[in-house]
Chains A and B, each alone.
Chain A
Amino acid sequence: MTLAGSSPSRNVDVQLTLTDIGATLQGTVHYSVLGTDGQVVKDGRILFASRDSTVYPSRFEGQWVGFVTRTQCSGDCSEGNDPVLQSGGVRVVFSQSGGVISGRMMNGIELTGTANGNTLHLSSRIALDPPVCQRPWDGGMTCQLELSVSGSADTLDRLHGSVTYRAAGFNHNGRPYALNATGTLDGLARWP
């Protein structure tokens, strides 16, 4: 069996050739990535594979990993000012019990919200006023943040949706900034 796919937005092409599918997998993988240093092509053999036996008590419980594309930004949008989508990569841990859901992004932003079936909506708010909000002597500080995340999970456990946020504070150089931005969740995968 051969499976092939590509992600134009990430410049990745993948081909998976499976020679045996059972309790484990055997086969090979071929992929190419177009990066800043040019195209890298790799071929590999599956060393081991195990079925993910994780039992999730709810639809969104667990860790989700993937990319968010910032599709719009106004204000001080230069690199280093964005406290939410610093690298484009996102890792978020959700905790869900019934319709109540909370989460934490790996950059420390805490989220709370609701989940209903395959959809979720979370938000986060930071409101720091002077004197707590002041130019730090080392690094940056987010003083104002209003963030909203909406998404839905598909049958392959991929999370699609959007993120909207308004942020203000001091960047890592101590300069004040303010921005408004939106982005799309590019199919975050549940990561055991």
Chain B
Amino acid sequence: MRRTTRQSGLWRTIRVMAFLVAYTMPLACGSSSPTAPNPPSAPPSTTTPSLPATFTGVWRANAKAVTCTLRIPAPCEPERSLTFVLRVTAGGPGYLGTFEIEEGLSLPVVISVIGESQPDGSVLFMGAHGVSRDVMVAVQRLLVKLDGAAGLSGDMELRQLVTGTERRTTGTVLSASYQPMLPQSGTNLSGTWSGVSVIRACSGYCPAYRTVGQQVRVSLTIGQSGTALNGQMQLSIFSCSGCWVPFSGSMSDDRLTLSGPMISRDSPSGDRTLHLESLEGSLDYISRLVGSFVYAADSRIAISPFNVSYRLECEILWLKRD
């Protein structure tokens, strides 16, 4: 469809991201019907957003890798594009935040960073994060300044250590878009969230990919009406290929408590019952969800004893709003 009618000035500047629950959508692992959020109380804003005067907020940045070095002889691509997200709030020596990047890693990495203002108005961010015993990613240097034409500009140096192989990348921060940080207290959790948890305990059938210390990718879709929450959850360890598990719960004193019914799935293999027993969480200083959950399932596997059960206790390292 090509729309040829002229749009009003208001709607030229307003774009809305909506999440839909399909009545007929066959949820692979049961069904859920999250409630809609409260009716809106505020009229649409007609102001045109503009770049901020401070660093506080969420920056989605583009960078160009200029050099990269490896300790071992191997291809190391310079002149490639990188994207990262920088979430910044005031605190510490000037700024606290996170640096999120997925480049070249099986799971996205979120690195806590601290930022210090420089005499020329730029901010120097640094931080490091150990993904596992063998994987470490560090922001050795991220020096950025506000740029009216590009959003952000500056330079950066990243260090990745993966099973003994060290890779250093320097690059130029080319540009960034900006979103304001959502308020933390009393916030509406409606939306989609994704991130990483780690298995802290496993009982029952616990093969290598389901042992203590293994990371699990988590996705949540949350609808909120007052303090009531409901929605659905997806875990990368489900052996039902992308299915979702419904939940409901509540928000109280900035803590959310969720649980779901045990649902059955008619399948000759994989998880046949799925149960989010509990999930508890809260928002951290940078508005990420942290907490823990317990998930249990009965599963059908290809080897004896064929019918197995397992129960996982996981710590949510972080879930960021998508």
Residues on A lying within 8 angstroms of B by beta carbon are 5-8, 20-26, 29, 41-58, 61-62, 93-98, 102-104, 110, 155-157, 187, 190, 192
Contact B36 A46 (CB under 8 A): yes
- Interface-side segment among B13-21, B130-138, B245-253, B273-281: B13-21
Contact B22 A22 (CB under 8 A): no
Closest to B224 in A: A48
Inter-chain contacts of B24 with A (CB < 8 A): 41-44
Give 5 A-B pairs besides A26-B39, A47-B221, A54-B49 with Cβ atoms closer than 8 angstroms: A47-B223, A51-B14, A51-B16, A55-B51, A95-B81
Contact B23 A48 (CB under 8 A): no
Contact B7 A155 (CB under 8 A): yes
Contact B150 A22 (CB under 8 A): no
With A5-B1, A47-B20, A47-B223 as given contacts, are A61 and B151 in contact (CB-CB < 8 Å)?
A: yes
Distance in angstroms between the alpha carbons of A42 and B175 in the assembled complex: 39
Contact B149 A44 (CB under 8 A): no
Inter-chain contacts of A46 with B (CB < 8 A): 18-21, 36
Inter-chain contacts of A61 with B (CB < 8 A): 62, 150-151, 175-177
Contact A48 B36 (CB under 8 A): yes
Inter-chain contacts of A102 with B (CB < 8 A): 62, 64, 81, 174
Residues on B lying within 8 angstroms of A by beta carbon are 1-3, 7, 12, 14-25, 34, 36-37, 39-45, 49-52, 60, 62, 64, 79-81, 83, 147-151, 153, 174-180, 190-191, 221, 223-224, 231
Q: Is the interface of A mostly helix, strand, loop or mixed?
A: strand
Contact B1 A97 (CB under 8 A): no
Distance in angstroms between the alpha carbons of A101 and B24 in the assembled complex: 43
Inter-chain contacts of B81 with A (CB < 8 A): 93, 95, 102-104, 110
Distance in angstroms between the alpha carbons of A156 and B16 in the assembled complex: 12
Contact B25 A45 (CB under 8 A): no
